[in-house]
Amino acid sequence: MTEIALPEIEDAEPAGPKPLAGQNRIRLIAICFVGAFLAISVQLGLLTLWPKLDDDAGKLAREAPLPRPDIIDRNGVLLATDIAVASLYADPSKIIDIDEAVELLTATLPDLDARTLRQKLSQPNRAFAWLKRQVTPEERDAVYNLGIPGVGFVNERRRVYPQGRLSSHVVGYVDLDTKGIAGIEKFLDGQGAIYTASLADPSEHKTEPAQMSIDIRVQAALIDELSQAIAKFRAIAGGGIVMDITTGEVLALASLPDFNPNDEKKSFSKDQMNKMTSGVFELGSVIKAVTFAMAFDYGTATLESRYDARFPLVIGNARINDYHAKRAILSVPDIFVNSSNIGTARMALDVGLEKHQEFLRRVGLFDRLVTELPESARPLLPKRWSKLATATAAFGHGFAVQPLQGAAVVAGLLNGGYLMTPTFLRRSPEEAMAMAKQIVKPTTSETMRYLFRLNAADGTASKADVIGYRVGGKTGTAEKVVNGRYSKEKRLTSFIGAFPMDDPKYLVLVMLDEPKPTPETYGFATSGWNAVPAAAKIIERIAPMLGVEPRFTAEDLEKLEKQKKAKKG
DSSP per residue over 441-467, as a string?
-HHHHHHHHHHHHHHHHHSTTGGG--T
Q: Which residues contact 403 (CB under 8 A, 6 or more apart)?
A: 239, 241, 275, 276, 277, 279, 281, 283, 494, 509, 511
Contact 68, 179 (CB under 8 A): no
Beta bridge partners of 89: 130, 152
Task: Look up 198 and say whether it is catalytic.
Answer: no
Amino acid identity, residue 153? Answer: F
The number of helices, as runs of H, and strands, as runs of E, in the chain is: 20, 20
d(CA 336, CA 460): 9
DSSP per residue over 375-417, as a string?
-----B--SS--HHHHHHHTTTSS-BB-HHHHHHHHHHHHTTS
Which SS3 state, helix, strand or coil, does residue 422 take? coil
CB atoms within 10 A of CB 375: 19
d(CA 238, CA 450): 28
d(CA 207, CA 192): 13
Alpha helices in 415-530 (DSSP H): 429-435, 442-458
Q: Which phi and psi angles does 476 have, rounded to 5°?
A: -150, 130
Contact 133, 123 (CB under 8 A): no
Q: What is the largest CA-CA distance in the chain?
A: 175
Q: Which residues contact 422 (CB under 8 A, 6 or more apart)?
A: 243, 248, 249, 250, 369, 371, 404, 407, 408
d(CA 237, CA 234): 9
Torsion of CA 336, 340, 341, 345, to 10 degrees: -60
Query: Which residues in 524-548 are b (16+ Cβ under 10 Å) and which e?
Result: ebbbbbbbbbbbbbbbbbbbeebeb
Query: Which position among 87, 167, 285, 305 bears the catalytic label?
Result: 285
d(CA 412, CA 32): 83
Contact 94, 151 (CB under 8 A): no
d(CA 535, CA 512): 11
Would you please indicate which residues are annotated as catalytic (active-site) residues? 285
